[in-house]
Chain A
Amino acid sequence: MIYIYFLAAIAVVVVAERVPSVGAKRALYAALGAALLLAPLVDRNDSDYNVLADAGVFVLLALGLNIVVGFAGLLDLGYAAFFAIGAYTYGMLASPQFGIHLPFWVLLFVAAALAALFGIILGAPTLRLHGDYLAIVTLGFGEIVPQIFQNLTAYTGGPNGISALDFPSFFGHSFGQRALPYYYVTLALIALGLALARNLRESRLGRAWMAIREDELAARHMGINTTLVKLSAFALGASFSGLGGVVFAAKLSLVSPDLFQFQVSVLIVSMLVLGGMGNIPGVVVGSLVLTLVNSVVLPQANALASAVGLHVDFSSYHFFIYGAILVGIMLFKPEGLLPSVQRREELRHATAPQDVRA
């Protein structure tokens, strides 16, 4: 059953991005949206929504990282740090830890703002760095942030983290242990994230990001304040992950430093690479494919294997899958599985090297 959601969503996006008519495209997306909203009328299996809500969090993270990496071309290998900041915001301000119990909805805003602030703080030192050096510095921050959360035991519960976080409630109705409310929250946040990401891409700021991605020096000559433009990418990208962190922490009712390791950052980068960096529908597909593999296919493969008497733990092949995706896509399909139509066409018709005459 759970496969249907993923495969249907992936299929709709792939088809919608290939149909020539705008009307048909909108109709397909509207149908997908309606189906996702109404699904609980048919499917009453809460564990499905558990998986889907987690997938939704990762879609949100991928949309956010896409702003930084895909639009602005700043390879951020420490994105999980902002996810951690979002999650710990909820963990510290909606739990018995300090006896503070702020509402979930308020903390969504607080976490988005805090993550954005840290996006600026951690982004600022990297402004003069390019390409791979920037990647390594962000990786360093990505390592430091969870380590600090782990070390500040008095505030964060140390390696064990903070548990028994508050259940969010909606007009007095507690979410309780059910996953369905989180499913709706992630749907709403994804809708918001998609709209904002699309708006940004088609805007003065979005063009400025792409310009610095292509050629930072030329961008400065267009009057683009690269400092401000890069920081805004870090801040906006991080804010998505702050939102994701709050939902993730509330749903798990737990935060701990080991949830935000380097692997999480690489997982999200893999989602972008798989789907096609910079292309919003591609990024959504990439994150759906990888969460499907991670949280559905591998566990079921395990069950299947043990059912036939094999002792193979497929879930220990996560690294291999991310690694193979990164290597395979970069070598054979660097534009990703679902690049924008234009990018695909242009790569196919790329003319001979142009500097022959120069």
Chain B
Amino acid sequence: MPLLELDAVTKTFGTLVAANGVSLRIDSGAIVAMIGPNGAGKSTIFNAITGIYAPTAGRIVFDGKRIDREPTYRIAAAGIARTFQNIRLFSFMSALDNVMVGEHARLRARLWDSLLHTPAQRAEERETRERARELLAFVGLERLSERYARNLPYGSQRHLEIARALASSPKLLLLDEPAAGMNPREKHDLVALIRAIRDRGVTVLLIEHDMGLVMELAERITVLDHGERIAEGTPAEVRRDPHVIEAYLGAPAP
């Protein structure tokens, strides 16, 4: 059984068809990339998976349950975490607090616990903080844990978003252009980090424009163009696919 399955997902905005019958299967433990020119519908698919939009048609099944009519917060709690193309950290909160917010869905404290700081709440808070520190260390930010997110360097903000996403112990992590704006060295580190994340048992689906990185990292690639899936396969298969070449070079394949 795949971890995530999109079955003919369509999303329209008025007359604009942002995604048209896109199907996708992601097996547990995989690293999968979604590529395609700008406006191909990649972000639309991410937003449909995380419940920002309800698909106009089609089904999304995660971990054996239909999620395409669930609100975002429930999908997150069910085990899908994400980062954003244009970083969306909690600016005026410390890096540590950002990660602790990420743990929200795992925590059990009720209103009463929060108001009165019951012993159970205190214990949970200690554990939450410790775990957040571990995650910051995992992405290499342990030294910056007390800084406001907005004051971190750009690359660190990308890493903090990943740590925050991992904090909920997700089964599936969606990364939206994680390498955007990074130099080659940072990209190299990012590849290692994503592999380490997979090795923790998290399945990864990423949108990325950097083909070198995608080819190196992804086990399977889905290619979208004009809202439709035009190819799917291993990096080698996708690279040879005439539809892909056409979409990227704008000329019919010979």
A→B interface (CB under 8 Å): 196, 199-200, 202-208, 210-211, 214-215, 217-226, 232, 236, 342-343, 346, 349-351, 354-358
Q: How far is the CB of B179 from chain A (nearest CB, A)?
A: 12
Are A354 and B73 neighbours in the complex by a CB distance under 8 Å?
no
Can you list 13 residue pairs at the A/B interface with Cβ under 8 Å?
Answer: A199-B115, A204-B104, A207-B97, A210-B93, A218-B89, A220-B73, A222-B104, A223-B105, A342-B94, A342-B146, A346-B147, A349-B151, A354-B153
B residues 108-133 with Cβ under 8 Å of A?
Answer: 109, 111, 113-117, 121, 124-125, 128
Query: Which residue in chain B gives the minimum CB-CB distance to A346?
Result: B148
Are B90 and A200 neighbours in the complex by a CB distance under 8 Å?
no
Are B147 and A221 neighbours in the complex by a CB distance under 8 Å?
no
Query: Which residue in chain B gives the minimum CB-CB distance to A356?
Result: B154
Cα separation A224 to B164 with both chains bound (whole Å): 13
Are B115 and A196 neighbours in the complex by a CB distance under 8 Å?
yes
Are A218 and B181 neighbours in the complex by a CB distance under 8 Å?
no
Are B111 and A358 neighbours in the complex by a CB distance under 8 Å?
no
B→A interface (CB under 8 Å): 50, 52, 71-74, 76-77, 81-82, 84, 86-94, 97, 100-102, 104-105, 107, 109, 111, 113-117, 121, 124-125, 128, 146-148, 150-154, 157, 164, 168, 180-181
Q: Out of A203, A214, A223, which one reaches B114, CB within 8 Å?
A: A203
Q: How far is the CB of B188 from chain A (nearest CB, A)?
A: 17
**A-B CB proximity, top 7 nearest:** A223-B105, A203-B114, A214-B90, A223-B76, A205-B114, A223-B77, A220-B72
In the complex, which residues of chain A have a beta carbon less than 8 angstroms from the beta carbon of B107? 204
**Known: A204-B107, A223-B77. Is A211-B181 also a contact (CB below 8 A)?**
no
Are A205 and B111 neighbours in the complex by a CB distance under 8 Å?
yes
In the complex, which residues of chain A have a beta carbon less than 8 angstroms from the beta carbon of B73? 220-226
Are A211 and B84 neighbours in the complex by a CB distance under 8 Å?
no
Are A222 and B114 neighbours in the complex by a CB distance under 8 Å?
no
Q: How far is the CB of A242 from chain B (nearest CB, A)?
A: 16
Cα separation A72 to B203 with both chains bound (whole Å): 33
Q: Out of A204, A206, A222, A350, which one reaches B76, CB within 8 Å?
A: A222
Q: Out of A211, A220, A354, which one reaches B93, CB within 8 Å?
A: A211
Are A208 and B104 neighbours in the complex by a CB distance under 8 Å?
yes
In the complex, which residues of chain B have a beta carbon less than 8 angstroms from the beta carbon of A199? 114-117
Cα separation A358 to B128 with both chains bound (whole Å): 32
In the complex, which residues of chain A have a beta carbon less than 8 angstroms from the beta carbon of B146? 342
Cα separation A219 to B164 with both chains bound (whole Å): 11
Q: How far is the CB of A259 from chain B (nearest CB, A)?
A: 29
Are B154 and A218 neighbours in the complex by a CB distance under 8 Å?
no
Q: How far is the CB of A222 from chain B (nearest CB, A)?
A: 5
Q: How far is the CB of B107 from chain A (nearest CB, A)?
A: 5
Cα separation A305 to B87 with both chains bound (whole Å): 57
In the complex, which residues of chain A have a beta carbon less than 8 angstroms from the beta carbon of B124? 204
In the complex, which residues of chain A have a beta carbon less than 8 angstroms from the beta carbon of B102? 222
In the complex, which residues of chain B have a beta carbon less than 8 angstroms from the beta carbon of A225? 71, 73
**Known: A208-B101, A351-B153. Is A220-B71 also a contact (CB below 8 A)?**
yes
Query: Which residue in chain A gives the minimum CB-CB distance to B106?
Result: A223
Q: How far is the CB of B54 from chain A (nearest CB, A)?
A: 14
In the complex, which residues of chain A have a beta carbon less than 8 angstroms from the beta carbon of B100? 207
**Known: A207-B100, A358-B181. Is A214-B113 also a contact (CB below 8 A)?**
no
Query: Which residue in chain A gives the minimum CB-CB distance to B164?
Result: A222
Q: How far is the CB of A39 from chain B (nearest CB, A)?
A: 30
In the complex, which residues of chain A have a beta carbon less than 8 angstroms from the beta carbon of B180? 358
Are A220 and B76 neighbours in the complex by a CB distance under 8 Å?
yes
In the complex, which residues of chain A have a beta carbon less than 8 angstroms from the beta carbon of B148? 342-343, 346
Are B111 and A350 neighbours in the complex by a CB distance under 8 Å?
no
In the complex, which residues of chain B have a beta carbon less than 8 angstroms from the beta carbon of A226? 73
In the complex, which residues of chain A have a beta carbon less than 8 angstroms from the beta carbon of B93? 207, 210-211, 214
Cα separation A174 to B93 with both chains bound (whole Å): 48
In the complex, which residues of chain B have a beta carbon less than 8 angstroms from the beta carbon of A219? 90, 101
Query: Which residue in chain A gives the minimum CB-CB distance to B86?
Result: A358
Q: How far is the CB of B84 from chain A (nearest CB, A)?
A: 7
In the complex, which residues of chain A have a beta carbon less than 8 angstroms from the beta carbon of B115? 196, 199-200, 203, 236
A208, A214, A217: residue with the most chain B Cβ atoms closer than 10 Å: A214
In the complex, which residues of chain B have a beta carbon less than 8 angstroms from the beta carbon of A200? 114-115
Q: How far is the CB of A109 from chain B (nearest CB, A)?
A: 15
Are B50 and A210 neighbours in the complex by a CB distance under 8 Å?
no
Cα separation A342 to B157 with both chains bound (whole Å): 19
Are B84 and A203 neighbours in the complex by a CB distance under 8 Å?
no
In the complex, which residues of chain B have a beta carbon less than 8 angstroms from the beta carbon of A349? 151
**Known: A207-B101, A210-B93, A215-B90. Is A202-B154 also a contact (CB below 8 A)?**
no
Cα separation A224 to B92 with both chains bound (whole Å): 18
Cα separation A232 to B93 with both chains bound (whole Å): 20
